[in-house]
Amino acid sequence: MKRLSIKMRVTLWYALLMLALVVVVLALVSVVGDYVATSGTKDALIAAVEDNMDEVEYDDGELEIDDDFAGLKNGVSSIVYTQDGELVVGSIPSGFETDLPLEETTVRTVSANGRTYYIYDREITFKKHDSLWIRGIVLASDSAGLANAAMKSAFIVLPFLLLVAVLGGYLITKKAFAPFDTISSAANAISEGSDLSGRIEIGSGKDEIHRLAETFNRMFARLETSFEQERQFTSDVSHELRTPVSVITAQCEYTLEYGENTQDYREALATVQRQTHRMHALISQMLEYTRLERGTYTIHREKIDISELVQLLCEERSLAPEKGIALTCEVSPNVVGEVDVMLLERLLTNLLNNAYQYGRENGTIRVQLRAQQGMAMLSVSDDGIGIAQEDIPKIWNRFYQADASRTANTAGSTGLGLSMVQQIVKLHGGTVWVESEPDKGSTFTVCIPI
Ligand code: ADP
């Protein structure tokens, strides 16, 4: 059964069902039809005989048959016999010859000359005279003719209907299932080929199959976007790694060719070191970022005092001052929330790194934390170079660096820091934005539900 296609299974199922139905209907027609026909005839037979009983009487010793006596009524022949079986009134239907004795029983079925008759006998008793008998005879086959005709038509019509129903059903099922073939061949073509832009085209509609096709199409669109992002990511990564590798290669070639003294080699090595640091930062940030972006990172939320964590990070950071920048920390106490500690640390570190990197020498960085309407509001402000308005939307893109020249020589710059911040905020169901003015400074604000 499992090897059969669904449309064959459906067709087979209702073919069998219809067949069973036809058999049951035919059986019912034959039984009920027969019963109705025979019982109708038998009732007529009994009625005719019993009506005629009242029409036979003795008047002054003379046998008198009333005018109302019906010798033939509704196909029933009524015959009056003496007790000895001599015919008094009535005529026997032609072809009906029987020596069946007169007997008061129920209706009897008699066959004569290949035909079936029903007969019904009743005795009429008189006070002073011998009793008489009335026998009713009716041809069974005549009365059953209608039922027979109905049966015959049922035997012809029902199998024909069965055939039409099965054939019609098969065609409808076939038509209904046709889009599945389209869907599966389209899906095969898309999955076998490298082109993910293909879609399933089965026209418009709102039924289950159209909804399935829509779901598939949405899935293909999603896959296409993911593959495109994947491709873009790989190309971005190779592009980013190519720069330091080219610098190292060029530096080595140059120094090997023209390097004359230890000083030249030291400078070359310093460049190589800077570039490898850059590559190292790039690779480790990329790994972290990929895990975050692909959703393979499982967020470990724990209830912590965010105020303490921020305070601690700021204190650690101010232990090693950079560029003479002063770090101030204004933290409202007891901001408690369920967050991923590692990710929150990474977020604040990235924002602080940027603030130091793009901050003014001997300037200030302000870290603020407060709770507001069920949200933890964390902001990092610097008074550094700021960001041009047109660059603001782009800084969240991975590998984007607003001014490559100012970061090119910075080993830790990867252009991934803010993308990571954005992913972390997203994982916590929060938002992040920046307010900035060139040469005045920037304020990054993170808002996370707690
Ligand atoms: P990067 O490793 O280059 O800092 P980010 O993703 O952290 O990468 O930042 C992207 C870009 O946004 C930076 O290259 C810089 O141009 C800009 N930017 C980020 N933070 C600041 C800031 N505090 N002040 C000025 N510009 C910033």
User: Distance between CA atoms of 377 and 274, rounded to whole angstroms?
Assistant: 36
**C-beta separation of 82 from 88 below 8 A:** yes
CA 295–ligand 1 middle distance (angstroms): 24
Q: pLDDT averaged over consecutive 10-residue blocks of the chain (450 residues)?
A: 75 86 83 77 90 85 84 88 86 79 87 86 85 89 63 81 87 84 82 77 80 88 82 78 88 92 93 89 80 77 95 88 92 95 92 94 96 95 94 88 58 79 93 96 96
Whole-number Å distance, alpha carbon 431 to ligand 1 midpoint, is 18
Q: How far apart are CA 26 and CA 159, in angstroms?
A: 10
> Within 13 Å, how many C-alpha atoms sit on residue 44's CB side?
19
Residue of 322, 348, 354 to mutate, ligand 1, most atoms within 8 A of C-beta: 354
Q: What is the pLDDT of residue 69?
A: 87
pLDDT of residue 413: 72
User: Ligand 1 centre and the CA of 353: distance in Å?
Assistant: 9
Ligand 1 mean position to 252 CA, how many Å? 30
Look at residue 30 in the predicted model and tell me its pLDDT: 77
Residue 335 alpha carbon to ligand 1 centre in Å:
28
Q: Does the Cβ of 384 fall within 6 Å of ligand 1?
A: yes
Rounded Cα distance, 369 and 307, in Å:
7
Written as one letter, the residue type at 186 is: A
Q: Is ligand 1 within 6 A of the CB of residue 414?
A: yes
With a CB cutoff of 8 Å and minimum separation 6, the contacts of 54 are 66
Q: Do 219 and 190 form a contact (C-beta atoms < 8 A)? A: no
Q: Is 199 left (phi over 0), alpha (psi -120 to 50) or beta?
A: beta
What's the gap in Å between 395 CA and the centre of ligand 1?
6
**Nearest-CA residue for atom 3 of ligand 1:** 415
Closest residue by CA, ligand 1 atom 19 = 354
**What residues contact residue 36 under an 8 Å CB cut-off, 6+ apart?**
147
- The answer to whether residues 106 and 38 touch, using CB atoms and an 8 Å cutoff, is no
Asked if 132 and 80 touch (Cβ cutoff 8 Å), the reply is yes
Residue 418 Cα to ligand 1 midpoint, Å, equals: 7
3-state SS of the chain is CCCCCHHHHHHHHHHHHHHHHHHHHHHHHHHHHHHHHHHHHHHHHHHHHHHHHCCEEEECCEEEECCCCCCEECCEEEEEECCCCCEEECCCCCCCCCCCCCCCCCCEEEEECCEEEEEEEEEECCCCCCCEEEEEEEEHHHHCHHHHHHHHHHHHHHHHHHHHHHHHHHHHHHHHHHHHHHHHHHHHHHHHCCCCCCCCCCCCCCCHHHHHHHHHHHHHHHHHHHHHHHHHHHHHHHHHHHHHHHHHHHHHHHHHHHCCCHHHHHHHHHHHHHHHHHHHHHHHHHHHHHHHHHCCCCCCCEEEEHHHHHHHHHHHHHHCCCCCCEEEEEECCCCEEEECHHHHHHHHHHHHHHHHHHCCCCCEEEEEEEEECCEEEEEEEECCCCCCHHHHHHCCCCCCCCCHHHHCCCCCCCCCHHHHHHHHHHHCCCEEEEEEECCCEEEEEEEEEC
**CA nearest neighbour of 216 among 244, 175, 188:** 188
247: Cβ–Cβ under 8 A, 6 or more apart, which residues? 271, 275
What is the phi/psi pair of residue 194, to 5°? -95, -5
User: Cα–Cα distance between 88 and 324 in angstroms, integer?
Assistant: 147
Q: Which of 279, 350, 358, 410 to mutate to test the pocket of ligand 1 (most atoms within 8 A of CB)?
A: 358
| CA separation for the pair 214, 237 (Å, rounded) | 34
d(CA 48, CA 75): 10
d(CA 221, CA 417): 29
d(CA 169, CA 389): 67
418 CB within 6 A, ligand 1: yes
* Whole-number Å distance between alpha carbons of 319 and 393: 33
Asked if 369 and 301 count as a contact pair (C-beta separation under 8 A), the reply is no
358 lines ligand 1 (CB under 6 A): yes
Q: Is 354 in the pocket of ligand 1 (CB under 6 A)?
A: yes
Mutate to test the pocket of ligand 1, among 278, 364, 387 (most ligand atoms within 8 A of CB): 387
For ligand 1, the distance from its centroid to the CA atom of residue 302, given in whole angstroms, is 29
Of 236, 395, 443, the residue with max ligand 1 atoms within 8 A of its CB, to mutate for a pocket test, comes to: 395
* pLDDT score at 1: 56
CB 401 near ligand 1, within 6 Å: yes
From the CB of 379, is ligand 1 less than 6 Å away?
A: no
Question: What per-residue confidence (pLDDT) applies to 303?
Answer: 95
Residue 412 confidence (pLDDT): 61
